[in-house]
Chains A and B, each alone.
Chain A
Amino acid sequence: MSVNLSLISLEIATAAFGLALLVLGLIVPKTGRTGFGSLTTLGLIGLLGLSFTLWNNQGSLYDGIYIVDRYAVFFKQIFLAAAIMVAMGSMRYVDEMGAQAEYYSMLVFATLGMMVMASAGDFITLYLGLELMTIAFIILVCYKRLDAKSVEAGIKYVLLAGLSSAVLLFGLSLVYGLTGTVTILKVTWAFLTPGAFSPALLLGVVMLVAGLGFKISAVPFHMWAPDIYEGAPTPITAFLAAGSKAASFAILLRVFAAGLAGVWENWAMLVAILAGVTIIVGNLVAIPQTNIKRMLAYSSIAQAGYILVGLVTASPAGIKAVIFYSFLYIFATIGAFTVVSHFYTVTGSDEIKDYAGLSQRSPLMAAVLVVAMLSMAGIPPLAGFVGKFYLFQTVVENYLWLAFIGLIMSMVSVYYYLMVSLVMYRDQPADTTPIAVPYPVAVTLIVAMVLTLFIGIYPNPVAKIVNAAAMSFFMLQ
């Protein structure tokens, strides 16, 4: 069997780039290391360029183990865009942490893990990608070695990620036991026959939901998220919230909407309830938070709930909605966290009350934070509104209650987002010195804000691409 290596050229290049960064970090003397941020950014932009050549180059490798369709490519582009923004937004932050080469190299490896997840066509590859990403993240989470909170977060992440992996593996092995195959495509066929449902499968589905639910921080598997989001270096929190979540959704869709499509009616209600509970708990618990990272952590839990809504019907429209929302969610999340991380580098605080008067100290940061948060809340004309429209239109006919929960809770979420705006806009700053926004951070912020506005006002171009990606998801079956 001949192998079309051009299909995995992106992964090969990413792996090579990550290794090169690692080696370079050892060679280059300590004083010359400030260029790594820019180098990584440039390299990732190059990889993003490379990914566009794959848009019309689709296929699968090794008998369906590795799938390169537009769905996978689009997700990879999402990850790369997220990684670029994180790399750019974190330059200042990382300069102050020291020892950067490994940081950027791990960032690239985490991205590679996500790419493998997006393309995974069987359970083993899926697990491989997941672990690659998770291990890179573990290192990144506790990167601030001297900060007790960061180390604590790292250890928590090791333990809980390990636990969730075990649960996931157990679920996967149950499905394997029932079908005799690990290839998702063949699993799909096995379950298409009527009467394929069995109690063992139910157990498997529950395990899968639990294992993947951990990764997307769905309630009740969300407990880790606020602690780890709070403790991790803020750029990593952004990447964790945006990239890791999007990648987990990529495999969630593969496993459920493709692999278990045949037994859809047996898990749809489970996912719907999970989505509803996640939306409610995430939003309500976000309200009393006083630390902005914790607040954003809970809000990102709620966001995961919204995205789950798209999975409930497992229809092309649902897949499209998930991809669309993941795309715009990246920009909103990274925009918000970049503001938070830059604010921390300047002032050393993550408390919401210290954001007083930010609109006067740095109008750009305040504006980006408001735009990003309101986009998450789904206020038009920001991207989140269109995203929620796509998501909830899939469930409004058969799961009207879910649409009610989702839309009412998103209006509730405006409350805690506005409390931050209140502090930033109304209050006079305690310290009136303007906050300088360095060039790379400013670019990240402006890109995030402009895209969020643009997609909200004129979503057509993105909708077209996402349509193509969603179509390819069903084509290879």
Chain B
Amino acid sequence: MDFPILSIILLAPVAGVIFLLFIPKDEFKLIKSVAAIALGASFGLTVYTYFAYNQTAGGLQFVERYPWINDLGVTLFLGVDGLSLPMLLLVTMIGFAAVFASWNVSERPREFMILFMLLVVGVMGTFVAQDLFIFLLFYEVVVIPIYIMVIIWGSSKRVTKEYAGMKLTIYLLIGSAFLLVGVIAVFVRALIITGVPDFSFTGLAQVPFPVDFQIYMFALMLLGFGSLLSMWPFHSWSPDGYAGAPTAVSMIHAGVLKKIGGYGLIRIALYVLPAGAQFWAPFMAVLGVAGVAYAAFAALAQKDLKYVIGYSSVSHMGYVLLGIASLNVIGINGAVATMFGHGVMAALFFSTVGFIYEKTHSRWIPDFGGLSQQVPRLAVAFLLAGLASLGLPGLVTFVPEFTTFIGAFKVYGGLAVVAITGVILTALYILRAAANTMFGPKRAEWDHLVDIRGPEMVPLVVLGVFLVVFGLLPSLLMDMVNNGVAPLVAEISDVLQIGGRF
């Protein structure tokens, strides 16, 4: 491709960061506008890319490739396919929306926006990198800005923000240590087998690794990516972390960052180590279903809105894990699409709760009631996100979850049924939370609340549009995802059939 569109998408926020360094720190409006413009540019270009992607041709498009580290065979290899485009769309969308969700940050906004844009760049980079080394570079960039953002702008309710931030950081870093060992071992073994250093995903996928080795390495990667995906029992950072984090971080983190775990499992672990995936798939399925059930029950017991959504997101990630573990096109399609749908929904949810907290200084469900009469627009956002969370047909999450269950049911039967009951539990806790906060008798103490307006509406509009449009026209999402997943699964399918046990 002549026009390096992916580089520009990546570099727009970096340019924004450099710009911000030269803006006086008390120009609040200007600072937020610069961030909005930079992330808006990325978002706009991504939307263009999404629709300009040639689905009939398929494969990697908008490819850019520059030699990077010769002796390790690393190339700066950027490209998108049907697997990464929805994720890229998700991160730029949420990034853009999150700036407006943080429009009222008045404490050190310049540092906030700088860190936030770095965070977004890191997440975007993981989805466009087609080289494992470059992927890793971006993968861990995100950890440190998040930590600093949590400890400065976070909130201490049930746990202190320092605790939440450190727990989140340490969990992810220890997970990534296992991942790193796996990656280094895979690289070295590939070098021994082929004699040519090559770090690209496609290059590594061609290497015939011994089965034992694959099983071992897949376990390491499952630990690394799984803890990022808040796989049960490595999920406990997630509710605490989201509760402590400022709104924008919760949005990005629940919306896309943990999806890097699922994306990495498919793109790297499954693609490069299919025999390992085959071995571990049943375990993944069990852990996934355990996560669905456990987190749904945990969510039922919560009274803090952020904890409800936090556990709910752990529960939804169980579906993703189950979908991936089905190892067939339909299941993985469902998993990827679920990640997208859940991302939009979770971001909207967290931004809504963020606004509620900002206006009332409370997230405690018993404190509320009848808010829909005082803040109707917020109530719309809350309900939209809530209904998407329980998978209402017509919203973006329905078709993906349905697909996941179809894919999983073929393979795991009974387990899938257990997972489906998770949907009922979700409806229970979401509707209960909605009823207790938004409906019921009006409370006089909230009469002074001002509904969201102006820039605050942007997250609702942007995310809401995607929730509805992609829900009504699911092919927009599903065709794209299928375009990425089908060839990937086709490539590994011979391995999966040789040792097939089902």
Contacts and interface: CB of A to CB of B under 8 A. Distances in A.
Q: Do A and B come from one complex?
A: yes
Interface of A: 359, 370, 374, 379-381, 385-386, 389, 392-393, 396-397, 400, 403-404, 407-408, 410-412, 414-415, 418, 421-422, 425-426, 456-460, 463-464, 467
A339 B71 CA distance: 34
A459 B166 contact: no
Nearest to A426: B151
B143 A463 contact: no
B181 A396 contact: yes
Contacts of A459: 69
B166 A411 contact: no
Given A410-B177, A415-B170, A425-B152, A379 B184 contact: no
Secondary structure call for the A interface:
helix
Contacts of A457: 137
B279 interface: no
Given A414-B169, A467-B71, A393 B187 contact: yes
B136 interface: yes
Contacts of B68: 458, 460
Given A393-B188, A414-B170, A381 B137 contact: yes
Contacts of A397: 185, 188-189, 192
A164 B138 CA distance: 44
A352 to B, nearest CB: 15
Nearest to A409: B177
Nearest to B150: A426
B102 to A, nearest CB: 18
Contacts, number: 92
Given A408-B174, A411-B177, A425-B151, A389 B184 contact: yes
Contacts of A415: 166, 170
A392 B177 CA distance: 12
A359 B138 CA distance: 24
Interface centre among A408, A414, A415, A463 (most CB of B within 10 A): A414
B137 A385 contact: yes
Given A359-B111, A380-B141, A425-B151, 14 more contacts: A380-B136, A385-B136, A389-B184, A393-B184, A393-B187, A396-B185, A403-B185, A408-B174, A408-B177, A414-B173, A418-B169, A421-B147, A425-B148, A460-B69
- Band of interface residues on B: 35 or more
Contacts of A456: 137
Minimum-distance CB pairs A-B, first 4: A411-B173, A407-B177, A380-B137, A411-B177
Contacts of B192: 397
Contacts of A359: 111
Contacts of B188: 393, 396-397
A379 B151 CA distance: 19
Nearest to A464: B70
B333 interface: no
A328 to B, nearest CB: 14
A403 B184 contact: yes
Contact of B180 (A407, A414, A467): A407
Contacts of A389: 72, 133, 184
A380 B69 CA distance: 15
Interface in B170-184: 170, 173-174, 176-178, 180-181, 184
Interface centre among B136, B144, B147, B176 (most CB of A within 10 A): B144
A460 B70 contact: yes
B198 interface: no
Nearest to A386: B69
A268 B70 CA distance: 29
A463 B162 contact: no
B166 A463 contact: no
Contacts of A370: 144
A415 B162 CA distance: 12
Contacts of B133: 389
B451 interface: no
A279 B178 CA distance: 17
